[in-house]
Every structure is written in structure tokens, then in C-alpha cells.
């Protein structure tokens, strides 16, 4: 299990911070609401610990938008929301008389679109700053239980028990929307990512 | 003209990068990793300028901005942040910051902003 | 000056948003939800301009771009994508796109780019 030293952890957190800055700005632009950014929590969980961590965050059904990505590092980038936040997030983009209390095909469509923008921004910042090219798939929207969600995560090597998840939170305070972005990678990809992050950190520090 | 500059950021990488940029211009740099430390150092050292991150645990950037200006109404503060929302930029301007740069920080952008703010007369 | 514009995007929501922007400026809009449909429509309708997404199922946007230029070397194609990477922009430009916009699309940016491309034309 790869451990990060303090410098690596710091650099990766900073990278995520920047990715989140762009992500939040996009969300803010399309929803016309201010997005409260938290210092991203860099947590690297093996998959069983991910279950525990997410279990604290979501109860009941989980709405997730997945964007599988490939490149020097590959995995699955996920926008994760509980049912309530998913509905609230979708409703930010529609006029009041069109708002829904449930996740249906039209709110689902909005969520997939929002997920696409956010996840592409996040992955794109990684690609740009780490001088890597990341390709990503069409976003897929799922609504399931937490267990089903965890099994739906796509890891290239298929060794999901060795996968790690990098998680970070975002909030739209006024509307009580709480979401997580979870990037799941297998161990070789994490290794690639860390090396790329170290190169970036080195370049930044000596600029 | 070399000056004393306080960097406030919870990321040690960010502090290191900004320090490197400012020291290359001959400025003298001190650091604070959170809001409380920032207020302490500011009161004790009276730096010529502060470079302030907005997204921090504990006290948030807006609080720090406000409190620094309470300590010294003429304080010269510029914001350096990953939060690129337009509303954030506007709010920091309303809160009295003299400039705004987004991360990842470009050396030339930061230096030219620092220089122009240092040259400003007291507001 | 109004013209006919083909939107190619697998997201119906994106197509709806872009359609709204273009129709508000008086343009006539048709849509395709994937690469194959895009090539068909282009061949049949010969639109004045194409707004093309990059990430789609089936054919990736770059392939569609190339195939459209094979059909018509004077095609006017703008890329509109959520993919913000510089490498993607470079690839699109090398493949001949005449503009590259990142989502969320700003109305003024799209319209002024469309206008400048259409003016360069007829």
C-alpha cells in the first residue's frame, strides 16, 4: 500500500485544491450560486476503508456520476451525492415551476451534465498541470445503494481490493448541497500519479 | 525596493513557492500557516504586504482579511488562491484586498502585482 | 446574418443549451447525437457551420472532425467541450477546428466566434 510522505501529500493536496478551484467556479457559473470550498481532504483509502468513510457521508441511496479515465494513470472519477443533495443540485439549474422532488429522467440528465463538467474540469487540471494527457469516457449516472455503488467502480486492473480513493468535499451552503468527488485508482496508477506530482512539485519549487 | 512580506497559506508547498518567488526579488519573507498565526505575526512584525490564501481550515480567508484590516486600516493585502470564482474575487475586493492572483501562481504575475501594490500610496 | 448550424453532442442537455443560444441569434439549428449521425446530416444538409463535442460514445470527436473535412475541406467546425486540457485544444486545432470553447459555453463567446467564421465565408 503506497504511503505518501509529507511533501507528496502536500503537493497532491495543492493539485486537488487547484482542480477544485476551477471545478467550483464552473459549478458557480452554471448555478449562479456561490460555492463554498473546503480545503480538500486528501484521504487515500483502500477500498474497504472507503466504504466506511462514505458510509458516514451518505445514507440511503447514492447518486453518482462516473467518468472513467485513462492515460499515464487511469481509473474512475466520481461525483457522489446523497439523494437529497442530488435533487437539490439538479434543481439549481431549473426554474421553480419545473423543479422536482425526485430524481427522474430530467433531473438525471442535469446531474449527468453537471457531473461531466465537474469531473472533466478536475481531470483536465490534472492533465494540464502534470503534463499528462487524460482521456475520459462519457459520464454515466447511477442511483444505487452504497454497496452497489462501490462495486460499480471501474478499476482497470480489476484488483479493486488494492485500489485507492482520493476524496474531497464541496458544498453549496445556501442550498445545503453536499457532495464528494472521489477519484479511484489502482496501485500502479497511484504510483504514476505520485511521480507526476513530484515532478510538478519540483518544477513549482524551483520556478 | 525590497520589503517585508508575510505569506499566509495552509499549504507548505504554496508557501515555499511564493517564498521562492519573493526572495528572488530580494524581499524578506515570513510565513503563517493559519489565520491566528497570521494575525499574531502581522501585529508583531508589521510587514509591508501580506499574500493571503483564502481556502484554509480554521479561520477562513475572509475573516483573516477583515481582522487584518481592523488591526491596520492601511494594510496592503493581496489574495493568492485556487478559488477562481468571480464572486470570490469581488468579495475580496470589497473586503479591501489590493489584488488577486489565482493558483497555480505565475511568477511574473505575482511580482508585478506585488511591486505595484508596494508602490501604492496609503489608501 | 443567420445560417444553418449543426450541433453534434451526445448530451441532449448540451444540445438544448447550445440550440437556445444559436436560435436566439436567428440561426437555424439541426442536431446529431453521435458521430455517424453527424456525418450523415452533414452530407445531406451541408450546414454553414458545425459545433462539435469531443467526448462521445462511438466515434470520438477528433475522428468526426477528420471525417467531416474529408467530406468537405471547407467545413467550418468549432469544438465545444468540457475537456479543458491544453493538449486537447492543440489536437483539435491541428485537426483543423476553427475555434475551441470550453463548457459551460458563454453565449457571447459562441455567438461572436460563429459570426466571425460565417463572415469569413460567403
Share of residues in chain A with pLDDT > 90 (%): 22
Three-state SS at A68? strand
Q: What is the CATH number of the domain that holds B23?
A: 3.40.50.2300
Look at A159 and A58; give whichever has higher pLDDT: A58
Domain boundaries, chain C: 4-119
Which contiguous run of DSSP H or E holds residue A111?
A: helix A105-129
CA distance C84 to C101: 9
What residue numbers bound the domain in which A152 lies?
Answer: 6-205
Give tens-digit pLDDT for A142-159. 999 888 888 877 654 455
In the structure, what pLDDT confidence band is assigned to residue A204 with cuts at 50, 70 and 90? confident
Domain total of chain A: 1
Instruction: Give the least confident one: A60-64, A66-70, A168-172, C6-10.
Output: A168-172
User: Most A CBs within 10 Å: which of C16, C83, C86, as the mutation test of the A interface?
Assistant: C83
Q: Give the per-residue pLDDT at A1.
A: 43
CA distance B76 to B99: 9
- Residue A155 belongs to some domain of the structure: yes
What the block records as the C-alpha cell of C36 is 455517424
pLDDT beyond 90 at A5: no
Three-state SS at B121? coil
Look at A120 and A38; give whichever has higher pLDDT: A120
The CA angle C25-C31-C33, to the nearest 5 degrees, is: 140
**Chain A residues whose beta carbon lies within 8 Å of the beta carbon of residue C55:** 116, 120, 136-138
Give tens-digit pLDDT for C44-61. 999 999 999 998 877 789
pLDDT beyond 80 at A36: no
The average confidence (pLDDT) of chain A is 84
Q: Of the spans A32-41, A53-62, A135-144, B4-13, which averages the highest pLDDT?
A: B4-13
- From A55's Cα to the closest Cα of chain C, the distance in A is 30
- Residue A90 belongs to some domain of the structure: yes
Characterise C90 by phi-psi region: left (phi > 0), alpha (psi -120 to 50), beta (else).
alpha
User: Most A CBs within 10 Å: which of B18, B19, B81, B83, as the mutation test of the A interface?
Assistant: B83
Tell me which residues of chain A, numbers 30 to 89, contact chain C at a CB-CB cutoff of 8 Å: 30
Best CATH choice for the domain C4-119 from the list 3.40.50.2300, 3.90.1150.10, 3.30.930.10, 3.30.1330.10: 3.40.50.2300
Taking CA atoms, what residue in B is nearest to A11? B13
**Chain A residues whose beta carbon lies within 8 Å of the beta carbon of residue B16:** 205
Q: What is the CATH number of the domain that holds A171?
A: 3.40.1550.10
Domain total of chain B: 1
Give tens-digit pLDDT for A84-128. 999 998 998 888 888 889 988 888 888 998 899 889 988 999 999
- Residue A1 belongs to some domain of the structure: no
Share of residues in chain C with pLDDT > 70 (%): 98
Q: Are strands A140-144 and B28-32 parallel, antiparallel or unpaired?
A: unpaired
Instruction: Give the DSSP letter of residue C26.
Output: T
Three-state SS at B33? coil
What residue numbers bound the domain in which B108 lies?
Answer: 4-119
Taking residues A185-197, report their average pLDDT.
89
The whole-number mean pLDDT for each consecutive block of 10 residues of chain B, a chain of 123 residues, reads 92 92 96 96 97 87 95 96 89 96 93 95 64
Q: Give the per-residue pLDDT at C18.
A: 96
pLDDT beyond 60 at C64: yes
The average confidence (pLDDT) of chain C is 93
Instruction: Give the least confident one: A71-80, A160-169, B31-40, C9-18.
Output: A160-169
Taking residues C12-41, report their average pLDDT.
95
Taking residues A52-61, report their average pLDDT.
82
pLDDT beyond 60 at A163: yes
CA distance A68 to A155: 9
Q: Note the residue count of chain B.
A: 123
Alpha-helix residue ranges (DSSP H) falling in chain B: 12-23, 35-45, 61-71, 86-94, 107-119
Contact status, residue A136 vs residue A77, Cβ threshold 8 Å = yes
What the block records as the C-alpha cell of C107 is 453565449
Sheet holding C77-81, edge to edge: C28-32, C4-8, C49-52, C77-81, C99-102
Q: Give the per-residue pLDDT at B7.
A: 98
Nearest to C12 among A30, A109, A134 (CB): A109
Share of residues in chain C with pLDDT > 90 (%): 84
C104 touching A (Cβ < 8 Å) = yes
- CA–centroid distance for B42 within its chain: 11
User: pTM here?
Assistant: 0.83
Predicted ipTM? 0.81
Amino acid at each position: 500500500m503506497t504511503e505518501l510522505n509529507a511533501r507528496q501529500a502536500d503537493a497532491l493536496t495543492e493539485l486537488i485544491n487547484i482542480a477544485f478551484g476551477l471545478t467550483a467556479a464552473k459549478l458557480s457559473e452554471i448555478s449562479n450560486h456561490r460555492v463554498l470550498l473546503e480545503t480538500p481532504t486528501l484521504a487515500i483509502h483502500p477500498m474497504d476503508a472507503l466504504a466506511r468513510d462514505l458510509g458516514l457521508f451518505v445514507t440511503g441511496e447514492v447518486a453518482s456520476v462516473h467518468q472513467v479515465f485513462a492515460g499515464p494513470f487511469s481509473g474512475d472519477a466520481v461525483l457522489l451525492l446523497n439523494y437529497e443533495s442530488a435533487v437539490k443540485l439538479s434543481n439549481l439549474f431549473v426554474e421553480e415551476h419545473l423543479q422536482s422532488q425526485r430524481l427522474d429522467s430530467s433531473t438525471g440528465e442535469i446531474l449527468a451534465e453537471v457531473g461531466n463538467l465537474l469531473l472533466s474540469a478536475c481531470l483536465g487540471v490534472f492533465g494540464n498541470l502534470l503534463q499528462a494527457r487524460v482521456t475520459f469516457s462519457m459520464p454515466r449516472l447511477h442511483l444505487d445503494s452504497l454497496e452497489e455503488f462501490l462495486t460499480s467502480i471501474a478499476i482497470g486492473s480489476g484488483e479493486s481490493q488494492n485500489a485507492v480513493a482520493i476524496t474531497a468535499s464541496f458544498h453549496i451552503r445556501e442550498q445545503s448541497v453536499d457532495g464528494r468527488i472521489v477519484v479511484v485508482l489502482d496501485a500502479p496508477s497511484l504510483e504514476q500519479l505520485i511521480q507526476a506530482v513530484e515532478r510538478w512539485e519540483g518544477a513549482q519549487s524551483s520556478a | 525596493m525590497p520589503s517585508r512580506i508575510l505569506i499566509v497559506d495552509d499549504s507548505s508547498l504554496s508557501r515555499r513557492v511564493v517564498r521562492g518567488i519573493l526572495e528572488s526579488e530580494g524581499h524578506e519573507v515570513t510565513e503563517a500557516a493559519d489565520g491566528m498565526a497570521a494575525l499574531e505575526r502581522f501585529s508583531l512584525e508589521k510587514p509591508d504586504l501580506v499574500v493571503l490564501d483564502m481556502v484554509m481550515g480554521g479561520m477562513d480567508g475572509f475573516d483573516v482579511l477583515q481582522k487584518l484590516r481592523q488591526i491596520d486600516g492601511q494594510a496592503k493585502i493581496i489574495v493568492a488562491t485556487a478559488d477562481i470564482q468571480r464572486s470570490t474575487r469581488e468579495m475580496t475586493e470589497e473586503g479591501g484586498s489590493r489584488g488577486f492572483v489565482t493558483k497555480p501562481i505565475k511568477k511574473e504575475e505575482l511580482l508585478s502585482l506585488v511591486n505595484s501594490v508596494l508602490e501604492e500610496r496609503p489608501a | 446574418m443567420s445560417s444553418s448550424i449543426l450541433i453534434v453532442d451526445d448530451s441532449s442537455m448540451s444540445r438544448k443549451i447550445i440550440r437556445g443560444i444559436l436560435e436566439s441569434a436567428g440561426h437555424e439549428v439541426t442536431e446529431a447525437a453521435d458521430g455517424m449521425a453527424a456525418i450523415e446530416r452533414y452530407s445531406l444538409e451541408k450546414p454553414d457551420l458545425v459545433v462539435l463535442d469531443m467526448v462521445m460514445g462511438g466515434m470520438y470527436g477528433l475522428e468526426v472532425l477528420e471525417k467531416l473535412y474529408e467530406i468537405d475541406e471547407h467545413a467550418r467546425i468549432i469544438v465545444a467541450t468540457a475537456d479543458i486540457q491544453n493538449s486537447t485544444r492543440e489536437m483539435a486545432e491541428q485537426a483543423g477546428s476553427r475555434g475551441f470553447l470550453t463548457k459551460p459555453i458563454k453565449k457571447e463567446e459562441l455567438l461572436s466566434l460563429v459570426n466571425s467564421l460565417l463572415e469569413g465565408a460567403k
